[in-house]
Chains A and B, each alone.
Chain A
Amino acid sequence: MAWETIIGLEIHAQLATQSKIFSGAATAYGAEANTQACAVDLGLPGVLPVLNKEAVRMAIMFGLAINAEIPSRSVFARKNYFYPDLPKGYQISQYELPIVSRGSIDITLGNGETKTIGVTRAHLEEDAGKSVHEGFGNLTGIDLNRAGTPLIEIVSEPDMRSAKEAVAYMKKIHAIVTYLGICDGNMQEGSFRCDANVSVRPRGEKKFGTRTELKNLNSFRFVEAAINYEVERQIDVIESGGKVIQETRLYDANKNETRSMRSKEEANDYRYFPDPDLLPIEIEKKIINEIKQSLPELPDAMKRRFIEEYHLSEYDADNLTAGPALALFFETTVQHSGGEPKLSANWVMGEVAAALNRENKDYNQSPIKGEMLGGLIKRIKDNTISSNIAKEVFTAMWNGEGSADEIIEKKGLKQVTDSDAIEKMVDEVIAESPQQVEQYKNSPPEKQGKLIGFFVGQIMKKSKGKANPKQVNELLKNKLAD
């Protein structure tokens, strides 16, 4: 039977405010346990939450970026449940009246088509603390530094039909929140994480199948792997005559499998009700318009501009606008490359991406800045160096040995374009390789192209890679034809 997969995502993005959503405590990551939790975060008796306006502004920015409605009134609600890392015994969240309702984003599919994914809502809430299971024997430690950190939970419509679409959607949301500067997007630190609702149904069926919720997918790779595993699992269950149970499942990245956490019956009754400690958020149209005016260029607009302005392919433009640091890096490179967007794109997505990847760094942490890379590309463009030599220069630049020009100068890497010098080397190689010359001359033209590589290689060796390959090729062809 042919199956169709239905996926909806709930993304939690941590808002990049200085202080917590309902207290003045700092939100910085990595501080010593419980040093960034004040009386409000600890849920001490008598203390009260006071809303951080910056978190509201950021949530509105997100809503505007996905063309959503921003209702004039939204309400905080308490989500009640007991857990040791939930200090008050309830989480302040939003339930019936969220700050952002009904928006959408476009994703690009593998075949280049565009698909619109609906966003049901996005609401503000506070994060819980963290249970620490290591270092306390058979006890559990509690770190409340994260308690009260502002989040927006972004809930999609069940519009995605494959793990790949889900990842594309998640990447798009990631790009939007990082472009807006409202989330640092750091998935390892948990600033951007996701739960996936997954179900399958026979192709053509209108009714949704029973869904499971996959928890805590903290990388794009895990989202894809977890969904693919879960889809297979659900199909297996149904095809072997069983029924999918509505439950929450945890993805285990080490084993690449999902495991049951709790069933629907065991689920909490959260007893949501409006939080009487907080007034409803009232938002004037004027404020919304002000925020709208202040929005930065967003990934879709930037992508279109890259295609128009730099004549990049849809694919390149899509990749280069995946994150604000990358896009900025690319644009800086182009500006300093002497008008070489395509070459810049190749280098940014090629050498730079690979080097950053090796060292697990982001574009804004690159030891080679866009200005410097542009300087290198300029020298490829004006034939000062070849692409191969450029790689050597790049490595030296990465290691902090100076600018492209400095390195080319210092190491004497300037390309040899003096045709007399090249001709001399060509003559020498031909003289040193009578056998290969014989073979070349006896070969049909379609094979000669391949054989000429030998001579080019020898000459490049002689010139230590500095001979202009185009000139070498032309000279060789002429000489060997004689």
Chain B
Amino acid sequence: MYNKTLAELSQALQQRDTSSEELTGMYLQRCRQFMDKLNCFVTLTEEHAMAQARAADKKIQAGKAGPLTGIPMVHKDIFCTNGIKTSCGSRMLDNFIAPYDATVVRQLDDAGMVMLGKTNMDEFAMGSSNETSYYGPVLNPWDPDRVPGGSSGGSAAVVAARLTPMATGTDTGGSIRQPASLCGITGLKPTYGRVSRYGMIAFASSLDQGGPMTRTAEDAALVLNAMAGFDEHDSTSANEPVEDYTSQLENPLEGLKIGLPVEYFDERLNPDISRIIHDGIAELKKLGASIHEINLPSSKLSIPVYYVVAPAECSSNLARYDGVRFGYRCDDPRDLNDLYCRSRGEGFGREVKRRVLIGTYVLSAGYYDAYYLKAQKIRRLIRNEFQQALKEVDVIIGPTAPGTAFKLNELIDDPINMYLSDIYTVSINLAGLPAISVPAGMLNGLPVGMQIIGDYFSEARLLNVAHRFQQATDWHQHQPAEYK
């Protein structure tokens, strides 16, 4: 049963082949069994889950169930949950309990989903390996010596290990797609503003976007139906109509124009990864798609631009963690300055402090124009290049990550190479576009993800391409041996 997709579980619940209570009990059992091994949870919410499951069963019995009612899931510990700890992977918020639900939490709650717990993550979503978490690294279910990717590493590991069929993630520079790639699952980053950011703890406000992490594109579509939409509590959420994202899943791919950016496939790309992605593209070609070479010349600047813009916003977003009103406070502060310095010095980890310092620097008088302003200009350039390319083609395809899951501690002291693991994902956040990572092959026993990028608000099209790909391939059905 735990191997079923969300869509299959939904059907089983509708047909009363199982109950939410039964499913929830089973998945909780698996969570308890594997959580210490994977270190994937910050909080397991068993009682809360059972109560939600019973409520869901009542809804199902009353014939008031929707497709998500009664389905177990987990939230990345970046989404605020009323009355339940929200740590954001940080010592700073180890004691923080929000008095409100994030909009996404409320939406999925309203849809009848059952939250089993909250997943481990890189501290404040800053990291690509899940090693920056205050709670220690999450391990990759495919190989315990390797990282799951980050920052939504806990969510990716939970779905890959079949501890739930679905998890929420957030993606600021690749934090949904890269761990999805490294763990062999499907991860969708919607268009910026498609999903509300209210109650989702901010890292870089102009880049952050929540989305679903699932086993299949079909499951992602079902969840996006509940997550997407305008939110009056988030001024940057898009006031665009929400489609039924499942309605186009089965559409044929005849006539689909796929763009391949030459910059993504140059000599720097690992040849094995390149081969896997080209095989994936060949599958889509078989389904009727045509292939077109495109140029995204500014994409090489995306990492430096990202590491100006994101730290700048984070340095300001994280200023509220000052030990005054909530969160970590140092012992016996001597004076105000000491309170600030030690609370923040002790409450934040190294990567967070590194980015706060970079961000403070690039916004400082005398450096603002040279760094922040210039980065914003290049960001516009990157955005324009994508928009131009997407006039010629329907989707853009490339690798999600430059390699497979790397070893624990391999890059933790090498921030530059760690940052480069997001080289294919950050530009999509800078442009605000939607993109999905789907499993497209295996390399030395580790999954490889393929990234499909679309135009603004073209999630239905992306999910359609991903779904047809998954109908034609079985990479998304591979699963780590220990968790079968």
Contact = CB atoms under 8 A, between A and B. Distances in A.
A269 B364 contact: yes
B484 interface: no
A90 B205 CA distance: 14
B234 A89 contact: no
A261 interface: no
Contacts, number: 100
A276 B313 contact: yes
A45 B93 contact: yes
Contacts of A88: 319-320
Given A78-B316, A80-B319, A273-B312, A46 B201 contact: yes
A42 B325 contact: yes
Contacts of B201: 45-46
B408 to A, nearest CB: 28
Interface in A210-250: none
B37 to A, nearest CB: 30
A89 B98 contact: no
A37 B291 CA distance: 56
Interface stretch (B42-50, B192-200, B213-221, B458-466): B192-200
A48 B198 contact: yes
B80 interface: yes
A52 to B, nearest CB: 11
B232 A45 contact: no
A272 to B, nearest CB: 8
B235 A277 contact: yes
Question: For chain A, what secondary structure do more than half of its interface residues adopt (helix, strand, loop), or is it mixed?
Answer: loop
Given A80-B319, A80-B363, A271-B363, A46 B324 contact: no
B372 A273 contact: yes
A35 B340 CA distance: 25
A47 interface: yes
B235 A46 contact: no
A82 B321 CA distance: 10
B307 interface: no
A113 B420 CA distance: 69
B336 A84 contact: yes
A51 B322 CA distance: 25
Given A39-B100, A47-B198, A87-B325, A276 B235 contact: no
Contacts of A279: 235-236
A434 to B, nearest CB: 86
B292 interface: no
Contacts of A389: none
A43 B323 CA distance: 12
Interface string B82-111: 000010100001001011101000000000
Contacts of A80: 315-316, 319, 363
A89 B319 contact: yes
B365 interface: yes
Interface in A107-136: none
Contact of B233 (A44, A50, A82): A50
A142 B324 contact: yes
A39 B86 CA distance: 15
Contacts of A278: 235-236
A269 B365 contact: yes
Contacts of B336: 84
B14 interface: no
Contacts of B206: 276
A402 interface: no
A276 B319 contact: no
Given A48-B197, A271-B360, A277-B205, A43 B325 contact: yes
A339 interface: no
A39 B99 contact: yes
B483 interface: no
B235 A50 contact: yes
Given A39-B100, A45-B88, A46-B201, A273 B80 contact: no
Interface string B316-346: 1011111011100000000010001000000
Interface in A181-231: none
Interface string A248-288: 00000000000000000000010111001111000000000
Nearest to A142: B324
A48 B319 contact: no
B326 A89 contact: no
B316 A45 contact: no
A416 to B, nearest CB: 73
B435 interface: no
Contacts of A90: 316, 319
Given A39-B100, A271-B360, A46 B320 contact: no
Contacts of B313: 276
Given A80-B363, A273-B368, A276-B206, A43 B320 contact: yes
B436 interface: no
A375 interface: no
Nearest to A79: B316
Interface in A30-66: 39, 42-51
Contacts of A45: 80, 86, 88, 93, 96, 98, 201-202, 320-321
- A45, A50, A82, A273, most chain B CB atoms within 10 A: A45
B92 to A, nearest CB: 9
Given A43-B325, A82-B322, A90-B316, A48 B235 contact: yes
A271 B324 contact: no
Contacts of A271: 315-316, 360, 363-365, 368
Contacts of B321: 45
A49 B197 CA distance: 11
A46 B319 contact: no
Contacts of A50: 232-235
B337 to A, nearest CB: 9
A46 B197 CA distance: 8
A80 B362 CA distance: 13
A82 B319 contact: yes
Interface of A: 39, 42-51, 78, 80, 82, 84, 87-90, 142, 269, 271-273, 276-279
Interface of B: 79-80, 86, 88, 93, 96, 98-100, 102, 197-202, 204-206, 232-236, 312-313, 315-316, 318-322, 324-326, 336, 340, 360, 363-365, 368, 372
17 contacts: A39-B98, A43-B320, A46-B98, A46-B197, A46-B199, A48-B235, A48-B236, A49-B235, A50-B233, A80-B363, A84-B324, A87-B324, A90-B316, A271-B360, A276-B205, A276-B206, A277-B236
Query: Nearest 10 CB-CB pairs, A to B?
Result: A89-B319, A271-B363, A276-B205, A276-B206, A46-B199, A43-B320, A45-B201, A46-B80, A46-B201, A88-B320
Given A45-B86, A50-B235, A80-B316, 6 more contacts: A46-B199, A46-B201, A47-B100, A48-B234, A90-B316, A271-B368
